[in-house]
Structure 1
Amino acid sequence: MAYWAFWSFSIHSILLVSLSETATTTPSLRNETDRLALLAFKAEITDDPLQALSSWKNDSLHFCEWRGVTCGRTHQRVSALNLTSLSLEGPLSPHVANLSFLTAINISKNRFHGRVPYELGHLFRLQQLDLSFNSFQGEIPAAISNCSKLLVVDISSNSLVGKIPSVLGSLSHLTRLYLYINGLSGNIPPSLGNLSSLNRLSLRRNMLDGSIPDDLGRISKLGFLQIAENNLSGTIPSSIYNLSDIFMFSVAANQLEGTLPWNLGLAFPNLELFYVSRNRFTGSIPVSLSNASFLQELAFTYNDFTGGVPMDLGDLQFLSLFSIGNNRMGTGKAEELKFVDSLTNCSNLEQFTFHVNCFAGPFPNSIANLSTQLNLLGIGENRFFGSIPEGIVNLVKLSTLYMPNNLLTGEIPVAFGKLRNLQQLELSGNKFSGKIPSSIGNMTELNQLYLQENNLEGSIPSSLGNCLKLDLLNISQNNLSGTIPKELMSISSLSISLNLAQNSLTGFLPIEVGSLKNLREIDVSANRLTGEIPQSLGNCESLVLLRLQSNFFNGTIPSTLSGLRAIEVLDLSRNNLIGQIPEFLGSFSFLMNLNLSVNDFDGKLPDKGVFGNASAVSVMGNNKLCGGIPQLQLPECVSSAPKRRKKSFYLAVFIPTIFLAVCLIFSLCLCAVLYGRRKSRSVEGLHTSISYLDLCKATDDFSSSNLIGVGSYGSVYRGTFASDNTTVAVKVLNLQRQGASKSFIAECEALRNVRHRNLVKVLTSCSSIDFKGNDFKALIYEFMPNGSLEEWLHPKEEEGHQLRNLSLSQRLYIAIDVANALDYLHYHHGTPIVHCDIKPTNVLLDDDMVAHVGDFGLAKILLETSNNFSSTDISSIAVKGSIGYVAPEYGMGAHVSTFGDVYSYGILLLELFTGRRPTDEMFKNGLTLHEFSKMAFSDRVMEIADPLLVEENDQDNACNNVESTKGKGQRVVECFASVIKIGIACSMETPRDRMQMKEVVSEMLVIRDKFLRIGIYKEG
């Protein structure tokens, strides 16, 4: 059909062109083909919010006067179509190919979607094709190689997939080829080396793999080469260094290795921009770079470079960016820092970073003499000592000063207050002493201030209240004293974190704290604060983390705290609080960690909400508490002792009455049990009785239209009971499959008494006979409307692209939900249960995207003998698990343990955040998802992130001020790395090297706190 459609269209086009060329009676007949093609183009537009094509009408202006249309003077035929940035939406009509005189098409920066029409290959006069910044899908049509006169092809920033057609190498006149920011895969075609006229090539941010073709070295006119952010490996071919016209060279964020040639600056004499960050390069930075006198930007970060920095980079008069952070440069010798002296000659230097290296020695005083244009300075995480020179205030345009985790001493210079443009100041993890300068209050542009982990003393200056753009303040872990100034509470911009923990602060928590309505985190723990918890704290409705522990707060928990509906972590432990614990704490739907231990609470402990999860709540050290769930091991609540004069009455009347009542109830129960045993065993006794006939009606005779999944031991159907319109999931066991009956028994046994919000709830079961006289067994679960995690991570083509929209926060929620479920099974249910088959298909999502672990057909119930549990089990079903997720020790005959679930969870966690299955074709020859993640950890961890997560972060940054998102972006990387670290730790080869689930839950909650603190949390 596609073949016939192509020729049908071609014949139609030829006829139209022939009509246009031969009908010479009037101009209108001669160019009627173009008018019809333009109208066909417009007809495909589904949205034109700016009314850009309103002039395109049949009976209006001549089409050569329509907006965006340019015609040739001689023939009045359309020669150019320029409709850029008009918010047009719809597919690109293939009838545009009837505009046979077209030389240029520019429809960039719109919302076109669908495929790129292969019919464009008929435009033999076409020289410029610009479809960039749209939403085109599918593959690049090879037919455009027929447009032999093409000079520019730009299809960047779309959603193209597939390989780059090798036939593009036949476009001998092509000067620019832009395919960046798509989903292209496969190798870079060596045939691109035939593009002898090409001077600009950009393939950035795709999924290209393999090595850089040696053939690219044949494109002698190439000056702009950008192949960053792919999965390229190997070394840079030596032929590339023969391209003497190169002025822009970017291979950042790949997996390239090897060393850079010593003569790099001689090979690329015209070099202006050079980016090799986030690879695996080794060796030293070539000293010849100073010969490339036009150099403006040099980026070497996140590699494995060693040695010193060339001492003559000061000869580069145009240098504006020099970054060598996150390497292993420096040997600890003070003379190695003389390169800083050289850089003082670079009067255009704007960004200079060499943090996270091995440089050591006294603080380089020459930093104060760097360019006054400098706006970013990063020297943190080295081994510098001494004090900061006062002259650093000469750098008046500094917006980011990053100097944490060195050995710096002395006082923070008072002159810092002159840095009026500073937005981020990070001096944490040093040995600064003295007071916090009140002059910091002059930094009115400051939005993040990190002074934690120093030896600062004195009081908190009230002048900090002048920093009205501050969204994060961390001065924890110092020796600060005095009261908390109420001026801090007037900084309405505080939205990320206010951290004053681990100091010696006294007095009350100011009641003005209630004005911080947008703040997500407050931590004043481990101080000497007194008085009652302010009622106004309940106004901080955005709080997700509140830590008040280890102080001297007294009184009761204010009822106004019921307004903290977003709270997830609440720690009031180690204070002098009294009274009853309010039940509203159990109504907080997001609360994951509640610590009320070591206070003087009394009365009955609630058992709803978070109080029903022993791993999420702590109340130890409150000797007057009673009740609660059994796992908290509190005494039962008893009524007050009766008066002595009524004691005999109770003994004489009430006790015998109660005894008789108990006997009567016991007898009735015994009769019910005996009667139940005589009935047909159509139900296993989990909940209400249900028959085979009921299930047939609910599932429409188990029709294929209601089939929602097929597993190892049976099929799952959607069912709806007509009586109450309840929708359920019915798992029908395939009893012909060996092990199915044991799977049924194991699942019933495992789920007999378990109850947890993150486990799929079993409503009942059915063990009966079908209409053909065969045995029939089924389990009936609550229905999960959002299907399985597998469907969201790896949707089938027919399911549509729209399912792949799990945000970063949703993935973290799901990971925490699964961890909570396993923690409950392993430690908080009584007899430990090992699931044995944790994988995405067994993680189901409800209406609110809360994850529930299901399918306990392989579960093992263990007899607890130690912290790690023995391998003795009640069910005898053989452990199989699923390939890629099953723990390696099971394959060697090891007994079942909770560490097997930990391994499966680790693999699931890595899959959840990388988007790669453990059975992906790339994992062969010893490479596993675990090893793949371990190799990228931690300096290249974002290279393995699911592209959808990277896209989400980029879109989020694109909607915000770039400067304000720099720090946030780095912290997103740190948080993502923390998740991958846990996934690696859980999936270690040997069980003893893995984490336990209770540790996993704790660490995941800490990571969630970090996500919330940096402001990337999104609902839904």
Structure 2
Amino acid sequence: MFKFHFLSSALMLIHCFLVSYAMIVRNLTTDQHALLAFKHQIIIDPHNILADNWTTNCPTCNWAGVSCAAKHTSVRALNLSNMNLTGTIPPQLGNLSFLVSLNLSHNNFHDHLPRELGQLSRLELIDLSSNFLNGEIPSCFGRLDKVLHLILANNNLTGKIPPSIANMSNLENLDLRNNLVHGNIPYEMSKLMKLRTLRLAKNQLSGSIPAAIYNISALRMISLPYNNLSGSLPKKICHHLLNLEALYLYENEFSGQIPTSVGECKNLRQLILDTNRFNGRIPTSIGNLTALTDLYLFANDLEGEIPWEIGKLEKLEYLHVEYMRLDGSIPASIFNLSSLKTIVLGDNNLSGELPYISSVPNLEKIFLWGNHLSGNIPDSISNITKLKILQLQRNSFSGLIPNALGNLQFLERLTLRSNHLTTKTSSNGRSFLDSLTKCRYLIYLDLSLNPLGGVLPPSISNLSTSLLQFEAIACKIRGNIPMEIGSLNNALTLDLSVNKLSGSIPTTIGKLKNIQLLDFSGNKLQGSIPHQLCGLKGLYKLSLATNELDGPLPVGLGDLIALRKLNFSSNKLHSSIPLSFWRLKDILEVDLSSNYFKGSLSLDIGNLEVITHLDLSRNFLSSDIPSTFGSLHYLQVLLLSHNRLQGPIPESLGDMMSLEKLDLSNNNLSGVIPKSLERLLYLNSFDVSFNRLEGEIPKGGCFVNFTAKSFMKNYALCGSPRLQVQPCKKNGHRHSSKTLLHVTKYVLPIFGSIIIVLAFIIVYKKRQNKSTGDSNIVQEEDEYFVVKANCISSIMELALNCSAELPENRMDMKNVVSKLKNIKRIF
């Protein structure tokens, strides 16, 4: 009996072992087939990881990216992230029935997500982020109730968020950011009570956030920026969100007031609500968010004062409340925040003076531009020892620029543009610019639109060798440009326009080898343009306009291959434009107007292939307009007025298809206005007045919009009465006129001869009359009356024979002379 039971038990154990072994073998075989199907869908494997490793000669659990369970050899995890694989995800992957973790992130997988993934009931992690997957999120994912992390970010997924996702009851992390998902956020998502992180940024979501979402007390982060979400925030937004650490709602269309209950989110570190339509005031309860490090409220409709309670946020690092309607003064408490790194209050209505600055040891950036701040810039600003950026432009600061700025040894960017600041040279000849020579990291300096006065000191050469941009526009600076300016050899921009600078342009300017923008316009500079400028190969914009420069253009200008904008207008430059100038084939804008240039325009002007603006007006240019203008297909503005140009307007101008403005007025142009100009669809300004043009003004295209002003004071233009020119004669009249003109050319000489003959006869007769007595006068007149009539009749008959319409019917001149002699002989 014992033997029987033993035998039965042994057989039972053997049976179970065989069944289990069979299941393991079957599972292993199924997993292997699923993975080989996956491998088959990979079309690019740049590192040959799957090609070399995923083979039947190697155990499946040893394949790259594959992890198996410890007790049995079923596949538990598949991690192929960051392998640059390209292909699709096959439905066979749904046969990995023991799979717990699936990570295919940061590859190039495309096409739809297979529904079969919804069969992986043991899954806890799905990370398919940073691929090119498209189509909708499968609703069957709702069956995966063990999933903790669903990460589908950075794909091209479309459709709506399936409500079934609410059945993933253990979900802690939902990341769908940067897709093309649209529609509303499903109300059902409020059932995900274990959700800690909700990331739906950069989609096309609309509507309001379901209020119940704010009841998920487990939430640590809500990130919904860059959508089209709207509505207002609930008054008790933080009643349940006691664990919330980050609230990102920026770049949406939220409106209403920021609820005061936001101050109840005690663990909130980042409150980012910028670029919405929130209105009202900044709630003072924000001062209760003692863990807050980032506060971004800019670009809303907020108004009122900045709450002084913000000064209680001891951990605050970044304060952004720009582009709004905030008023009042800046709370002094803000400049006592020891953790503060960046403060941005620009483009508001803030007023008053800058408060005294005591100790902000970590502050690196201050942006206060575009307000109504006034008073002096306080010397205490030098207490911000780590300051890198100070932007105070577009305010009403006045007084002297403090030399204390020179103590900011880490200063990189200083912008004081558009204030009422002045400077003063001390008894030892030093100015605040001298103090800035201690700022060895300074790369950007803008002092423009301040009444600084004074001169540029030679010590400008001691400014930071890192200086890239120096602008002092309209600062009433006088005197010469110092030779030492050539020491700013790393400068990219040097703009000293609209000042009172005099003297010549220093030749040391040629040392600025990295310069891209050089603007000395609007000064009183004299002398010639130094040829050293032609060595600045990186120059993009060069403006010397409105000075008193004379002499010719340097021949080497044509070598400035990077030049795109050149303006030498309103000077005294003369001579002809050198042929080398037209080698600037990549230049976009040229203005040489109001100078004394003479000579002809070269055919090489057609080399300026991409030019958009050309102004050569008010010079002494002569000869014809080159036909090569027609190849300037990108030219939008062509101004050649007030020159001495002559000849016809080239037909080729009709090929300048981008032309918007054409001014050829006040020249000596002749001929007709080409009908080809009717093709210029964008031409909205046209002037050919004060020339010698004739013929019919074109009627079509852009010409229907031009007025009489465009054509006044020409030789013989004709056309519509609205243009205040004479009407054009019809074809028949023109034919008669031509015939009359043709006949006149022949008849006038004949009639001239007739008049001469008649005059001869009359004089002759008068002489005869004088020799006879007064008594015979009446008799002689009667006697010769018939003779005179016959003479005139013969002459008129001859005239008619000479004025026949057809040339072959007219009498030749030899016969005309013979007839006249015969008439003279007879009469």
Name the larger-Rg structure. 2
Deviation of 1:637 (Å):
6.1
Contact preservation (8 Å) 1:628, 1:634: no
Corresponding position of 2:595: 599
Alignment partner of 1:509 out of 486, 499, 505: 505
Contact preservation (8 Å) 2:214, 2:241: no
DSSP 3-state at the match of 1:143? helix
Letter in 1 for 2:407: K
Instruction: From the superposition, tell whether residues 89 and 399 of structure 1 become closer, same or farther in structure 2 (CA, over 3 Å).
Output: farther
Deviation of 1:501 (Å):
1.0
DSSP 3-state at the match of 2:205? strand
Contact preservation (8 Å) 2:166, 2:189: yes
DSSP 3-state at the match of 1:754? helix
Alignment partner of 2:528 out of 513, 520, 532: 532
DSSP 3-state at the match of 1:100? coil
In 2, the alpha carbon distance for the partners of 1:76 and 1:488 equals: 76
Q: What is the total number of aligned residue pairs between the two structures?
A: 645
2:400 equivalent to 1:443: no
Map of 1:388-787 to 2, 5 A cutoff?
A: 388-434=377-423, 435-456=431-452, 457-460=454-457, 462-463=459-460, 466-485=463-482, 488-491=485-488, 493-495=490-492, 497-514=493-510, 516-606=512-602, 608-609=605-606, 616-623=613-620, 625-628=622-625, 632-633=640-641, 754-758=654-658
**Structure holding more strand per residue:** 2
Alignment partner of 1:146 out of 140, 143, 146: 143
Deviations 1:405-460 (A, max 9, x none): 11112222223223232222211111121144223233232232221111223215
Contact preservation (8 Å) 1:113, 1:136: yes
Corresponding position of 2:305: 308
In 1, the alpha carbon distance for the partners of 2:100 and 2:274 equals: 39
2:822 equivalent to 1:824: no
Corresponding position of 1:113: 110
Alignment partner of 1:257 out of 224, 240, 255: 255
In 2, the alpha carbon distance for the partners of 1:486 and 1:203 equals: 59
In 2, the alpha carbon distance for the partners of 1:304 and 1:30 equals: 62
In 1, the alpha carbon distance for the partners of 2:153 and 2:710 equals: 54
Letter in 2 for 1:113: H
Deviations 1:870-895 (A, max 9, x none): xxxx99xxxxxxxxxxxxxxxxxxxx
In 2, the alpha carbon distance for the partners of 1:573 and 1:610 equals: 21
Contact preservation (8 Å) 2:237, 2:259: no
Contact preservation (8 Å) 1:182, 1:206: yes
Contact preservation (8 Å) 1:223, 1:243: no
Contact preservation (8 Å) 2:255, 2:277: yes
Corresponding position of 1:224: 221
Contact preservation (8 Å) 2:311, 2:337: yes
DSSP 3-state at the match of 1:167? helix
Contact preservation (8 Å) 1:78, 1:99: yes
Corresponding position of 2:368: 379
Instruction: From the superposition, tell whether residues 868 and 603 of structure 1 become closer, same or farther in structure 2 (CA, over 3 Å).
Output: closer
Looking at both structures, which has the greater relative contact order when contacts are Cα pairs under 8 Å and sequence separation is at least 6?
A: 1
In 2, the alpha carbon distance for the partners of 1:37 and 1:453 equals: 72
In 2, the alpha carbon distance for the partners of 1:319 and 1:420 equals: 24
Contact preservation (8 Å) 1:55, 1:67: no
Deviations 1:774-797 (A, max 9, x none): xxxxxxxxxxxxxxxxxxxxxxxx
Corresponding position of 1:360: 351
Contact preservation (8 Å) 1:602, 1:626: no
Deviation of 1:582 (Å):
3.0
Deviation of 1:537 (Å):
2.7
Using the TM superposition, name which of 229-238 and 167-176 deviates more: 229-238
TM-score, structure 1 normalization: 0.58
TM-score, structure 2 normalization: 0.71
In 2, the alpha carbon distance for the partners of 1:263 and 1:30 equals: 55
Contact preservation (8 Å) 1:587, 1:609: no
In 1, the alpha carbon distance for the partners of 2:195 and 2:94 equals: 25
Instruction: From the superposition, tell whether residues 526 and 175 of structure 1 become closer, same or farther in structure 2 (CA, over 3 Å).
Output: same
Deviation of 1:862 (Å):
0.8
Letter in 2 for 1:756: M
Instruction: From the superposition, tell whether residues 127 and 863 of structure 1 become closer, same or farther in structure 2 (CA, over 3 Å).
Output: closer
In 1, the alpha carbon distance for the partners of 2:519 and 2:59 equals: 70
Instruction: From the superposition, tell whether residues 588 and 269 of structure 1 become closer, same or farther in structure 2 (CA, over 3 Å).
Output: same
Corresponding position of 1:40: 37
DSSP 3-state at the match of 1:242? coil
Using the TM superposition, name which of 22-31 and 406-415 deviates more: 22-31
In 1, the alpha carbon distance for the partners of 2:505 and 2:208 equals: 60
Contact preservation (8 Å) 1:131, 1:155: yes
Contact preservation (8 Å) 1:436, 1:461: no
Instruction: From the superposition, tell whether residues 154 and 431 of structure 1 become closer, same or farther in structure 2 (CA, over 3 Å).
Output: same
Contact preservation (8 Å) 2:618, 2:641: no
In 2, the alpha carbon distance for the partners of 1:466 and 1:198 equals: 56
Letter in 2 for 1:379: L
Contact preservation (8 Å) 2:546, 2:570: yes
In 1, the alpha carbon distance for the partners of 2:578 and 2:134 equals: 55
Letter in 1 for 2:449: E
Deviations 1:2-45 (A, max 9, x none): xxxxxxxxxxxxxxxxxxx9793596664133233334334444
Instruction: From the superposition, tell whether residues 363 and 292 of structure 1 become closer, same or farther in structure 2 (CA, over 3 Å).
Output: closer
In 2, the alpha carbon distance for the partners of 1:486 and 1:183 equals: 59
Deviations 1:69-106 (A, max 9, x none): 22110122221222333343443444433322211122
Corresponding position of 1:678: none
2:724 equivalent to 1:865: no
Deviation of 1:321 (Å):
1.6
In 1, the alpha carbon distance for the partners of 2:505 and 2:550 equals: 12
Letter in 1 for 2:614: V
Corresponding position of 1:728: none
DSSP 3-state at the match of 1:283? strand
In 2, the alpha carbon distance for the partners of 1:492 and 1:44 equals: 58
Contact preservation (8 Å) 1:315, 1:345: no
DSSP 3-state at the match of 1:97? helix
Corresponding position of 1:104: 101
Deviations 1:794-834 (A, max 9, x none): xxxxxxxxxxxxxxxxxxxxxxxxxx96542553799xxxx
Letter in 1 for 2:565: V
Deviations 1:456-483 (A, max 9, x none): 2321554455523333222211122344
Alignment partner of 1:175 out of 165, 172, 181: 172
Q: Cα RMSD between the aligned structures?
A: 3.5
Deviations 1:505-526 (A, max 9, x none): 3344344544545543221111
Contact preservation (8 Å) 1:127, 1:151: yes
Contact preservation (8 Å) 2:487, 2:511: yes
Deviations 1:328-349 (A, max 9, x none): 1114xxxx43x2x223442211
Deviation of 1:584 (Å):
4.5
Deviation of 1:574 (Å):
1.6
In 1, the alpha carbon distance for the partners of 2:653 and 2:601 equals: 23
2:160 equivalent to 1:160: no
Letter in 2 for 1:386: G
In 1, the alpha carbon distance for the partners of 2:255 and 2:557 equals: 55
In 2, the alpha carbon distance for the partners of 1:612 and 1:70 equals: 63
